[in-house]
Amino acid sequence: MSGSGRASRIVISDEIDVYCPWRIAPDDLSEKMRRMLSLTDAERGAMGLAGREKMIQEFDESKVIGSYMEAIREIELEAIPG
């Protein structure tokens, strides 16, 4: 995973729920892999739980649907002449 796209930056939180190599560089990726391998089971578990909590808080189905509905309303308003 390169993590170079905007969507990647929205979904993940470096060092909270993943160690993300933001640059596409072998040394950056290898450093993140070393850090992940050095974590205890409890630390990796906590990172996984933090990622799950982030998904629940930020990407709950009702929030995603609400965002889509808001975008659709804005497009509809822009289409109204006047």
Residue 1 lies in a domain: no
**What is the span of the domain harbouring residue 24?**
6-79
pLDDT > 70 in the chain, percent: 70
Q: Is the confidence at residue 23, as pLDDT, over 90?
A: no
Q: How confident is the model at residue 15 (pLDDT cuts 50, 70, 90)?
A: low
Of 60 and 25, the structure prediction assigns the larger pLDDT to 60
Residue 53 lies in a domain: yes
Residue 62 lies in a domain: yes
What's the domain count of the chain? 1
| Beta carbons within 10 angstroms of residue 45's beta carbon | 11
Are the C-beta atoms of residues 21 and 2 closer than 8 Å to each other?
A: yes
pLDDT tens digits for 26-56? 777 888 889 889 999 999 999 899 989 988 8
